[in-house]
Amino acid sequence: MAANPVLKGGLRMLSAFASSGLAERYGVEDQARELVERAAKLGVDLLARGGAKKAPRDPAAPKVRFDLTPTESQELLRSTMRRFGEEVLREAADEADVAMRPPAEVIEMAGEIGLVELAVPEALGGAAEERSPITTALLAEELGYGDMALGAALLAPVSVAHLALDHGTEAQQKDLLGRLTAEPFVPASAALLEPRPLFDPRKPATKAKKIGGEYRLRGEKSMVILGQSARFFLVSAMVDKDARLFVVERDRDGLTIEPEPTMGLRGANLCRLRLRDVEVPASAMLGEAESFDHQRVVDLGRVAWGALAVGQARATLDYVKTYCNERVAFGEPITNRQAVAFMIADIAIELEGMRLLVWRAAARAERGKSFTREAHLARVQCAAMSMKIGTDGVQLLGGSGFIREHPLERWYRHGRGVAVMEGGLSA
Amino acid sequence: MIHLEIPGKLKPLVELASAVAAGYFRPISRKYDREEHTYPKELDLLQAAFSGLQGSGGLQGAGAAASTKKTERADGEIVNGGNMSTVLGITELAWGDVGLLLTMPGQGLGNAAIAAVANEDQRRRFGDKWAAMAITEPGAGSDSAAIRTTARLEGDEWVINGEKIYVTCGERADVIVVWASVDPSRGRSAIKSFLVEQGTPGMKLERLDKKMGIRASDTAVLAFSDCRIPRANLLGSEEIASASKGFAGVMKTFDNTRPMVAGMAIGVARAALERLRELLAGAEIRPRYGGSIHAGQHAEIEVLRMEAELEAARLLTLKAAWMADNRIPNSLEASMSKAKAARVGNAITLKAVELAGALGYGEDELLEKWARDSKILDIFEGTQQIQMLIIARRLLGKRSSELR
């Protein structure tokens, strides 16, 4: 925080006065001290009053405090999702990893729980009390605790609903959210990432050219979640100098979709989208030029991926705690050794740091404050630490960490994805 | 409701501490780094200012003594109180100068112990005094249960014998809180702390240590030979608890002081990072948010990495303080914040010197000083390794006999 210039100047003078020894020499130390005491009191009063003047408090507004307690309804959702993550996603993760797509019954169950409805406000046919990135982050952590790939798969259509809510026109919201909440449930997915090193999500190489009343899209999108089952995609493309999102139906001419095998996150059914002069109506461009905020799309994507990564980190901590406490070597549990125990302590520390960074970004987004910086920092930290935790998790299990019988090798492969993935999700 | 911003209520305090750091500490920072062992007389005036503030209730404690202050609150209501304001105040002041902060009159570590465990009478006699803490001995550092200083009861007096080192403010403080065993055969449960006033016969200042950093702060070696103090100067209960209750009680002080040290590390690291950014801007390197986290110059990426690390440490520290304010047990989080912030603080200050090159290494800038100052923060109040032991034991349910 910048120091108050008046106060700072006064303090500098005071410091110079004290350094000079003048007070001492003239025997006025006591008076000087008294003066300082009075001035300090005055300074604080002024500061307090100045602060009050700047921001007259709305008596109806809730007091804004530093707080880490979820609301009751968030807590309820969290415990429900915790069980779903543990019992359904964790169990299905290996099969999904092999099949390179989520099992149909997992998607069905998510439909039954009404994951998408939870994101859509009541007025638009859903069940959400409000649009809350914090709630999404809490939910994503529990999904990630089950499995990051399946968590991403389940979060992808929810994210499309978020994007429609945040940016879509009234007509688009009605159309897109209606399709997402219709029976039977068919997912949708956002496509930002492109197959290029040092990809900057703000500047996709995919281009949208206006030709008459239509836009013609050309480019390539990488690692699009649920590519084979999504009914439509939100594809980012440059329109002149601005990145925008376009609703692209899967059966459009010129669009090809192919599975894209990857190191990890295979259960999310990642696909490559090739757009060769795909034509969409002008109404397919999400939102309006004045209000569309592509940076927000990027930033909330970072929050969502970070939250999934927090969940996986917590899963790793729980797993290695149990395994290493039970594993005996040289006549005692290996956790009696500092080399092992300290590695686990580090996982706990970094995990908590990741979570707080993600929460801060989400909470700022929720209150309508700028959060590009916070989302960036959360992404930087989650990218680095989820891989550190991933590799330490395998190391702690030794050979067992390397074989598929335990989930650590999968989490290691997922973990690298956190640094790679951009977009596709939105908190 | 989850929200991780500094509450408006505490902003005047942060602003004031920030002004003191910038206007009062920074101008004399280099001077007392060079003039080690010279008392920074400017601090006397500052003390006057602080007592003025505390009197007006305007400054909810920026020092050790405030850390254990109880916060009033309605049932179930979340508060941001004394622990958080202390951590925030300390962070700002440490941004100015850690060494000067450590030698602020009346804000010694002993004051935290007094605030935590003193009885009415002791509070009256010592509450306003500047109190240092003497724990470490030549043969006992992290293993504070191994201290060999003894206190023997003779009539109405305790007789203290032994040697203490690394006593911060050991020369300047009015009173020293001395750790000693009342019965060396009974291990840690017999360790008590005693209030020894400056000038008590039998307590002698042996020497002041010369140090790599925090040179504005005096670090004393104190010798005790048949040093007699009143029986009533024992802090806490005289009884030797059967288990290690008494010792644990003393160690509890650290749950409050560890986030404070974390705050110091955050302050000095932020100072280094801010200055580094200014210097890099002169070289046309300006880290930006929102784009790829991987693309850009090495220095740019490093700065953002450091910023993320610092932010993680800062939020961990605020969490530990928030828990204390809301009476949620926070031993684990206090140690986590100290471990993370101290190592991050050291890494950032060192990296800033590295990236600033000759400018960073030279004495024209304060970067090299901060890199020297920050190292102690990963050592005192429990080293990095001790924090890791505490964290690991708690996480894994280990006794200290199992995970040693």
Looking at residue B77, what is its pLDDT?
84
- A140 inside domain: yes
Nearest CA in chain B to A133: B2
Looking at residue A45, what is its pLDDT?
58
Q: Do A274 and A330 share a structural domain?
A: no
B230: left (phi over 0), alpha (psi -120 to 50) or beta: beta
Residue B69's pLDDT band, with cuts at 50, 70 and 90, is: very low
Q: Residues B396-404: what's their mean pLDDT? A: 96
- Give the percent of chain B with pLDDT over 70: 92
Q: Which B residues in the span 304-333 are in contact with A, Cβ-Cβ below 8 Å?
A: 304-305, 307-309, 311-313, 315-316, 318-319, 322, 333
The string of pLDDT tens digits covering residues A348-404 is 999 999 999 999 999 999 999 999 999 999 999 999 999 999 999 999 999 999 999
Query: Would you call B55 an interface residue with chain A, using a CB distance cutoff of 8 Å?
Result: yes
Whether B62 has a pLDDT exceeding 50, the answer reads: no
Contact of A216 with A209, CB cutoff 8 Å? yes
Of B15, B45, B388, the CB nearest to A1: B15
The string of pLDDT tens digits covering residues B340-368 is 999 999 999 999 999 999 999 999 999 99
Looking at residue B54, what is its pLDDT?
55
Q: Do A229 and A118 share a structural domain?
A: no
Q: What is the CATH number of the domain that holds A316?
A: 1.20.140.10
Q: Do A271 and A306 share a structural domain?
A: no
d(CA B222, CA B157): 20
The string of pLDDT tens digits covering residues A199-219 is 999 999 999 999 999 999 999
Answer yes or no: do B336 and A10 touch at CB < 8 A.
Answer: no
Whether B246 has a pLDDT exceeding 90, the answer reads: no
d(CA A285, CA A140): 28
Contacts of B5 in chain A (CB under 8 A): 64, 66, 360, 363-364
Q: Cβ atoms within 10 A of the Cβ of A25, count?
A: 9
Of B5, B27, B293, the CB nearest to A376: B293
- A165 inside domain: yes
Query: Would you call B53 an interface residue with chain A, using a CB distance cutoff of 8 Å?
Result: yes
Distance, in angstroms, between A327 CA and closest chain B CA? 13
**Looking at the 3D structure of chain A, how many domains does it have?**
3
**Residue B222 DSSP class:** E
The string of pLDDT tens digits covering residues B156-189 is 999 999 999 999 999 999 999 999 999 999 888 8
pLDDT, chain B, mean? 91
Tokens 């828990």 sit on residue = B323
Looking at residue A400, what is its pLDDT?
97
Q: Do A304 and A262 share a structural domain?
A: no
Which of A155, A185, A215 lies at the terminal end of a domain, its last residue? A185
Nearest CA in chain B to A356: B315
- A48 inside domain: no
Nearest CA in chain B to A354: B312
Q: Do A142 and A172 share a structural domain?
A: yes
Domain containing A102 equals: 72-185
Whether B58 has a pLDDT exceeding 60, the answer reads: no
Q: Do A321 and A353 share a structural domain?
A: yes
Residue A112's pLDDT band, with cuts at 50, 70 and 90, is: confident
Residue A124's pLDDT band, with cuts at 50, 70 and 90, is: confident
Distance, in angstroms, between B144 CA and closest chain A CA? 19
| Superfamily, domain B130-241 | Butyryl-CoA Dehydrogenase, subunit A, domain 2 (2.40.110.10)
Of A226, A76, A83, A85, whose CA–CA distance to A143 is shortest? A85
Q: Do A169 and A225 share a structural domain?
A: no
Looking at residue B61, what is its pLDDT?
40
Q: Do A410 and A298 share a structural domain?
A: yes
The domain defined by B8-110 folds into: Butyryl-Coa Dehydrogenase, subunit A; domain 1 (1.10.540)
Q: Residues A34-57: what's their mean pLDDT? A: 55
Residue A52's pLDDT band, with cuts at 50, 70 and 90, is: very low
More confident residue, B182 or A56: B182
- A324 inside domain: yes
Contact of B182 with B147, CB cutoff 8 Å? no
3-class SS letters over B82-103: HHHHHHHHHHHHHHHCHHHHHC
d(CA A189, CA A375): 21
Q: Which B residues in the span 332-351 are in contact with A, Cβ-Cβ below 8 Å?
A: 333, 336, 339-340
Q: What is the CATH number of the domain that holds A90?
A: 1.10.540.10
Query: Would you call A120 an interface residue with chain B, using a CB distance cutoff of 8 Å?
Result: no
Of the listed ranges A144-153, A179-188, A263-272, B205-214, the one predicted with least confidence: A179-188
B37: left (phi over 0), alpha (psi -120 to 50) or beta: left
Whether A188 has a pLDDT exceeding 80, the answer reads: yes
Distance of CA B364 to the CA centre of its chain: 28
Answer yes or no: do B340 and A360 touch at CB < 8 A.
Answer: no
Looking at residue B255, what is its pLDDT?
77
Of B5, B289, B313, the CB nearest to A66: B5
Whether A250 has a pLDDT exceeding 70, the answer reads: yes
Residue B120: active-site member: no
Answer yes or no: do B3 and A48 touch at CB < 8 A.
Answer: no
Whether A50 has a pLDDT exceeding 50, the answer reads: no
B241: left (phi over 0), alpha (psi -120 to 50) or beta: beta
The interface predicted TM-score (ipTM) is 0.93
B201: left (phi over 0), alpha (psi -120 to 50) or beta: beta
Q: Do A121 and A178 share a structural domain?
A: yes
Distance, in angstroms, between A125 CA and closest chain B CA? 26
Looking at residue A237, what is its pLDDT?
98
Q: Do A413 and A336 share a structural domain?
A: yes
Whether A221 has a pLDDT exceeding 80, the answer reads: yes
Q: Residues B82-106: what's their mean pLDDT? A: 94
- Give the percent of chain A with pLDDT over 70: 86
Contact of B387 with B335, CB cutoff 8 Å? yes
Contact of B79 with B322, CB cutoff 8 Å? no
Query: Would you call A55 an interface residue with chain B, using a CB distance cutoff of 8 Å?
Result: yes
Contact of B11 with A52, CB cutoff 8 Å? no
Answer yes or no: do B304 and A346 touch at CB < 8 A.
Answer: no
Looking at residue A46, what is its pLDDT?
53
Whether A51 has a pLDDT exceeding 50, the answer reads: no
Tokens 């960036």 sit on residue = A376
Query: Would you call B201 an interface residue with chain A, using a CB distance cutoff of 8 Å?
Result: no
Of A41, A348, A376, the CB nearest to B53: A41
Contacts of A32 in chain B (CB under 8 A): 45
Looking at residue B253, what is its pLDDT?
72
Two tokens, residue A126: 């859903």
Residue B209's pLDDT band, with cuts at 50, 70 and 90, is: very high
Looking at residue B9, what is its pLDDT?
92
> Do B130-241 and B247-396 share a fold?
no
Looking at residue B241, what is its pLDDT?
72
Of A15, A38, A381, the CB nearest to B28: A15
Q: Which CATH class is domain B247-396?
A: mainly alpha
Q: Which sequence spans correspond to the domains of chain B?
A: 8-110, 130-241, 247-396
Looking at residue A183, what is its pLDDT?
86
The string of pLDDT tens digits covering residues A159-183 is 999 999 999 999 999 999 999 988 8
Q: Do A298 and A405 share a structural domain?
A: yes
Contacts of B291 in chain A (CB under 8 A): 200-202
Distance, in angstroms, between B155 CA and closest chain A CA? 42
Whether A289 has a pLDDT exceeding 60, the answer reads: yes
Query: Would you call A318 an interface residue with chain B, using a CB distance cutoff of 8 Å?
Result: no
Whether A121 has a pLDDT exceeding 90, the answer reads: no
Residue B56's pLDDT band, with cuts at 50, 70 and 90, is: very low
